[in-house]
Amino acid sequence: MNAAYLLIPAGLLLLGLIWAERAQRPGQVLAFKAPLSALFVLTALLLPHGSSSYYFLVLAGLILGLVGDVCLALKGEAAFRAGLVSFLLGHVAYVVAFAGLIPPGGWFNPGFLAICAVSGLAFLWLRSSLGNMMVPVLAYVVVITLMVLAALAAVFNEALPRAGAWLVFGGALVFYLSDLCVARDRFKKPGWDNRLVGLPLYYGGQFSIAWSVALLS
């Protein structure tokens, strides 16, 4: 099966998920979200790829993203924490995968300080609302910032295929932005608008990272 064909049901499921979120129907949210997230895992499995550590690390990150999505679709603090941990581990897998694409000392580039500054400001914005989630959220911010920094460094590695490097950076960046939407919804200003913006960004990021295995593994 051609993995590109998965983008059609993915688009339809995303529209259904956005509708279910707007209607505030948790059962239907899970019914759309679980198969949609399974599709980005399936995409990585179906695309041509090698048996490199990059492939297996990205696949692990995608699977952890699927688990996190299911957890966040459930209600309650315990489910939210489980989802946070799952995504944290998924980001760690991506950090290690992307770091393997860059040479030693290749982390520093013109965008390094800007990304760190944005993350620092985002954490300061959230801090007053975090309560007992302060440490977990700080850890999450650090890891997702490292993910974007590693992805950006991959763009500056001229030895990598250009399309693959930009897929990694674009995917990491929109994933990062989608997490800001989740944080705003959870800790600052809950509302459907967060999901309207965040969900397309999130799935665009995950599918982009999944697609990168065809070019970089």
Residue of 80, 91, 96, 81 lying closest to 205 (CA atoms)? 91
Q: Which residue has the tokens 């993995």?
A: 3
CA 88, CA 70: separation in Å to the nearest integer?
Answer: 15
CA 85, CA 111: separation in Å to the nearest integer?
Answer: 28
**Lowest-confidence segment of 21-30, 71-80, 122-131 by average pLDDT:** 71-80
Name the more confident of 131 and 150. Answer: 150
Q: What is the mean pLDDT of residues 125-150?
A: 92
Task: Write the pLDDT tens digit of every residue in 60-84.
Answer: 999 999 999 999 888 777 888 888 8
Alpha helices in 24-161 (DSSP H): 26-46, 53-73, 77-99, 112-127, 134-155
For residue 166, is pLDDT > 90? Answer: yes
CB 175 within 8 A of CB 10: no
CA 26, CA 14: separation in Å to the nearest integer?
Answer: 15
pTM of the model: 0.93
**Lowest-confidence segment of 32-41, 73-82, 90-99 by average pLDDT:** 73-82
For residue 1, is pLDDT > 80? Answer: no
Longest dimension (CA), the chain: 49
